[in-house]
Each structure stands twice: as structure tokens, then as C-alpha cells.
Structure 1
């Protein structure tokens, strides 16, 4: 449980101490936002929602182009930006705890410092889900299976083995009493939407992902959420029980933010931070974030860059604790 306490403390501090940053900078120009995933996932939501609101608030010139570039849980996009567009001031890219975990485990083709990290605008809540027709009705029933028959079920999410979605499920299994975490079978998909689609088709038994990625499936009744990995119930889905309320003291937030190329100028970088802070404080973002199950949080500029580096170190430590890396 050491890694659970470590990550909960750090992310809890981020939520509790969110601050604002005021800058004076030149306006951002027309922009492109790359979502390193298929349509429908959390990174896709980040780009499409932020892109729409940037345009609505006249913070950029014209519409923001949204490009989906799945592959390697963000590695394909990261490599492209590092090699082809490091100084492109019109480009922003969605990232999150998931992406930083991959970097911390050495799974990206370039180091963390290849990019400039602009801002965090919210945190998604991790959830454990099953199909609406699954015989597993409660988290307690899932825990019993994971502890006593772990190889009998197939679990999945939008990260590889040892990624953030996987780690969150392992934290639940660890708290439930599973001694050999490697016994759980895990399948990776490029987005929570893809994982849920396969679960609905009968290929997967359990999905660990973010509420923001699969809220539509919850609203339609196609899936059932066994637990939200949050301190309090999700405001948009207050009837979903937290893991803590069911005796499993686990939280798993996935912050959502943006980066740009490492060679953009200080003026260009400051301009983006300023525009994103204005967006964050708008009614449009606060409403969109809350309705999608996000907890609004602001960290921008140098503060966010420092936070990302701290998070990468934490994820590296967690990964060693559970044997993902040496």
C-alpha cells in the first residue's frame, strides 16, 4: 500500500492547493490540438472541449483543428512532435497521468524535457466498470474473484501493463488482498472507449479507466460502474459508490493537461498559458468539465512543469515498487 499512499498524497495536494498564474503575453494564433488516441477517449475529450471553448471565447483565430493520432499510448505523437514540430507554436497536445507514467517507465522515444508543459485544467476520476449484463454486481464480488480466482477474468484499460489504468486496478486488488498481482490478466487498448466496446462484446470482463472516457456508456446504461476511485462521489454521477465507501481505501485521479514542443519561444509559451488560464476560469470550461465528471484544477506555466517532473518521479518509484521496471 506504500505506492497508494504516495500517489494519493501527491494528487490530493494538487487538488487542494490549485493556484492561478497571471501572465501578460501575445495572443495565440490559429491552433491544432493533437489527441494521441482514437476518438471518444479522454485525450480526445481534452482536445475537442478545449478547442471548442478556445474558439468560443475568441482566444485563438478561427477554429482549433483536432487531430487523432493513436499509437503507443501517446508515444507516436510524442516522437512526431519531438522530431518534426518542436518549435511549432500553433500546436498543443493532450496529456495526462497516463502519458507521464509511460515516460517514467522509459516507453517514450524521447525524454520528458523534450516538451514544454503548459497547464493542467482538471482531473478525471478512475473507475472500475463491468458490462451491464455481467454477473459481477459489486466491487466486493469483483474483489473476491481477483483474490481467489484472478486468472479467471480478463481486465483491460487504455494503458499497457504497468500503465496508470493498470496500476489503479492493481491498487484495488492489492487492497482487497491479492498477493501476486501478476496473476491478473491485462489487455491494453488505445482508449477507454475501445476497451469498453470490447467488454460489451464479451471479450473483456472488467475495465479500469477514467469516467471522462466512458461517461456516455454510463449514461446509456450499457455498463455498470462498480466503484469510483475518488475521495468523494463524482458530482455528475453521485449515485456511483466510491471504493473507499466499500472498504477499499484507494483513489486514482488522472489529471488532464496540455504540452507543446520543447523549442517554442518563451513568449509563445507564455501566450498559451495565459489563454488556457482564461479558458479555465470561464463558465464554459467549468460547466463542461464538471458535467463530464472532471474535478476542475488549475496549474500552469512553471508550476505545472515542476508538477509534471515530480509526477514522473513518483510514477517511476511506483513502477519499481510493483516490479514493472527495475
Structure 2
């Protein structure tokens, strides 16, 4: 059942809300980033499609890569039925590394609507023709192939590489020896790779798709459940025997004390949005691949991802 809501002004504009409380989405970052996009696009479509009866209020709450918003909801708003918070794989990685004031079970994880897909790429003329080739080289000599991404050591780009290394049978000590190089984005990392500074890049496809289209680089592995629609010939890691996915998904949580009925309502609303042509168009226009996990399935997925990232973070010394 749709909530009966009164329209309010967007807090991010500096205006104040009046009347009854409307549905609200917290973007735990400044305007312009992925979490802000998630709140604003989903909020707009929920209203335009009539899933929500009134405009969804968007509040920007930056700080601590999502930790400030997490603490605010946990401490003050844990039972608010009309509240969503945008999050992603990046947030869950922070939780797994103890950088938020609580574990994933503090919140209720509603659903993911889309995702950038992680990819491992090499130059078009690389000696590595398959994921086995690259992993074999790293197993033989962990320092032999510098690998780059847009996160620091222990961040999501790095962890995606280490998930593959773990599946390949490398030890924690070997993880620590892999030469990891951080750049400010996937595109600069690829540019440096093409200049010979590194041998491979772990990043999101959305950041470097143009290099693939031009033929300058090739995808050794897409970390997705199924082949990527835009690049159907790119092999997945799973198809090569590595049971690893590496989505940078976009989704939402709500407070841990929200009732079952209100939680189910949010899951149903987001699934209705996901099934719409309007969401598919908006996602693909912004470089996302529509992917749905919701309700209990999503909560299990988030817990499993947090456990895996914590274990890998311990193995590489990011946490004890």
C-alpha cells in the first residue's frame, strides 16, 4: 500500500519541510556522486510512476564514506518507516573493515537495483590472453605484475582482485606481495597501463568502456553472473572457473527497527520500480547494468559480502 504523503521541499536546496513527513532518501555524500544519483533518480521515478504519492525528499549527509549517515540512522532514526539510505559495495566494504559504528546487522537491507560490473582488463597486445594466464603469473611471482585501480590498498577495486587471487589458491602472504597501484579513477589507471606502467587494471566497466570499444584494451574477466550485454563476448570469471562476482551495486538500507510490514513495503516498491522500463532506461543511461536482489536474498548477500571482505581485509593486513 502506498504511503499517504504530503509533498515537501528538498532539504538539499536549503528549504525546510512543512506538513506531514514524506518519504526521505539520505545520500551519504555531497551532491553529484553515485549515492546522490541513486537517491535522486530513484526518488524521482518512484513519484513519476505513482509508486509514491508525493515527491521523495533527498537529504545529503556526507562524512566518513557513509559512516555519518549510518550513525545518524542507527542512533536516532532506526524505526522510521519512510526512510531509505543509499549505499553500495563501497559502504559494505567500509562496514566490513570496522569503519562504521556497527555491523551490517544494525540495518535492514532493502534491495539493489543496478550495478557497475567489475572487470579485469589488460592492454590489447598483452601476453595475458585469459584470467588463468594472469593469475598464473601472479601465483608464480606475486610482484611480477603491477595491478592498478581507483581505490587504495584494501578498497573495493583491490579486494576484487584479491577475491580472484583467493579463488586461484594464493595465500594471504602472497596477497600482501601483489604490487597494487592507486590512481584517481579507472580511466587514469588504464591510461597508465597503456603506457606500460602497470600490467593490468581492476575497475568498474562504466569507467573504462570507451577503451574497450576502441580496441585499446581487452577484458580478461567480467565479474558478473552473466555476460555483459554491451560486451557479450567478454568472458565472465565464473565461465573460467572462478566463482567470483564483483558488482559495485547501487541499493538501499533502512533502519534496523523498521517493522516487517514497512520493510516489505519498501522491498515491493523498489521491485516495482526495478521492473519498469523507466528504471532500465535511467540505469543504462548512467552506465549501470540493471540487477535486482531484494528482501531476504539481499540481506543474505550483504552479510556474505561483508564476511568475505572482512576475511580478505584481515589476510592483507587492513584489519586485524
Per the TM superposition, whether the score is higher than 0.5 is yes
Deviates more, 1:313-322 or 1:113-122: 313-322
Q: CA separation in 2, counterparts of 1:27 and 1:52? A: 17
Name the structure 2 match of 1:172. 164
How high is the TM-score relative to the length of structure 1? 0.67
How far did 1:34 drift? 0.8
Name the structure 1 match of 2:203. 209
Give the paired residue count: 293
Q: CA separation in 2, counterparts of 1:187 and 1:87? A: 42
Q: Is the 8 A contact 1:155 1:184 kept in 2?
A: no
What secondary structure does 1:276 align onto?
helix
- Following superposition of structure 1 onto structure 2, how do residues 130-279 of structure 1 map, counting pairs within 5 Å? 138-139=129-130, 142-143=134-135, 146=138, 147-148=140-141, 150=143, 153-158=146-151, 160-174=152-166, 180-186=174-180, 194-199=184-189, 202=192, 205=198, 206-212=200-206, 215=209, 224-244=218-238, 247=240, 249-254=242-247, 255-262=249-256, 269-279=263-273
1:166-193 Cα deviation digits (max 9, x unpaired): 222023345567561211233567xxxx
- How big is the alpha-carbon RMSD for the aligned residues of Structure 1 and Structure 2? 4.2
Name the structure 2 match of 1:53. 45
Q: Is the 8 A contact 2:26 2:85 kept in 1?
A: yes
What secondary structure does 1:202 align onto?
helix
1:102 to 89, 94, 104: 94
Structure 2: stretches of 5+ with no match in the other structure: 6-21
Name the structure 1 match of 2:292. 297
Q: CA separation in 2, counterparts of 1:188 and 1:299? A: 33
Structure 1: stretches of 5+ with no match in the other structure: 1-23
How high is the TM-score relative to the length of structure 2? 0.68
**Pair member with larger Rg:** 2
Name the structure 1 match of 2:3. 26
What secondary structure does 1:226 align onto?
strand
1:134-175 Cα deviation digits (max 9, x unpaired): 9677446644653436266252244x5344432220233455
The change in CA–CA distance for 1:250 and 1:293 in structure 2 (over 3 A counts) is farther
The change in CA–CA distance for 1:124 and 1:110 in structure 2 (over 3 A counts) is same
The change in CA–CA distance for 1:143 and 1:70 in structure 2 (over 3 A counts) is farther
1:6-58 Cα deviation digits (max 9, x unpaired): xxxxxxxxxxxxxxxxxx352563533415588454x4553354234223313
The change in CA–CA distance for 1:87 and 1:209 in structure 2 (over 3 A counts) is farther
Q: CA separation in 1, counterparts of 2:60 and 2:145? A: 38
Q: CA separation in 2, counterparts of 1:59 and 1:317? A: 39
Deviates more, 1:164-173 or 1:267-276: 267-276
